[in-house]
Amino acid sequence: MLQTIADQYGTAVLVPVSRSSTWDGIRNDYGPDVDVIDRSLHRAFDTVAVDPERIGVVGFSDGASYALGLGLANGDLFGHLIAFSPGFIPPAPRRGRPRILVSHGVTDPVLPIDRTSRRIVPTLQHTGYDVTYLEFDGAHTVPLDIAISAAEWLGWNDPPTG
């Protein structure tokens, strides 16, 4: 599904994996996973023509929490953050003002929405972030229509401005 949507929107996608069973920032502190992502980004920038205005970070579940933490800490690089069913935001100093999209299923048994996104989103909005929030009927998943809405929210099918 991800590759099909990326192809439709003419977007390059880099899909790193955590060095352990989940992302390092979820368990304690940022470390080896950030190093892998950094090296992967450098390789991607050397390989693909990258518009610096169109760099984002996306994740699902623990990956969504990690995307929020890493993205907010590097908001001067990642101008767009997408978090599908995040559990929390790992602490880190914040830079920049990325746009944020959060989605969550109302019947999510893994990361219940009342303890997660319904708290995360207002907190981000209260601190001045531009947040789009999508709730959907469903559990711990990313439905196709939500994934397409996220791609449309990015607006990367439009020509760059400036």
pLDDT tens-digit profile of 69-105? 999 999 999 999 999 999 999 988 999 999 999 999 9
Name the more confident of 161 and 67: 67
Among 44-48, 103-107, 124-128, 145-149, which stretch is predicted with the lowest mean pLDDT? 44-48
Q: In a 3-state reduction of DSSP, which class is residue 101? A: strand
* pLDDT for 66 beyond 70: yes
Please give the Cα distance from 57 to 4 (Å, whole number).
18
Return phi, psi of residue 96, to 5°. Answer: 70, 180
* pLDDT for 161 beyond 60: no
The pLDDT of residue 42 is 87
| Percent over 70 (pLDDT), the chain | 88
Residues in the chain: 162
pLDDT band at residue 138, thresholds of 50, 70 and 90? very high
Please report, as a single letter, which amino acid is at residue 40: S
Among 12-21, 42-51, 104-113, which stretch is predicted with the lowest mean pLDDT? 12-21
Q: In a 3-state reduction of DSSP, which class is residue 57? A: strand
Its pTM stands at 0.87
The pLDDT of residue 24 is 65
101: which strand partners? 82, 132
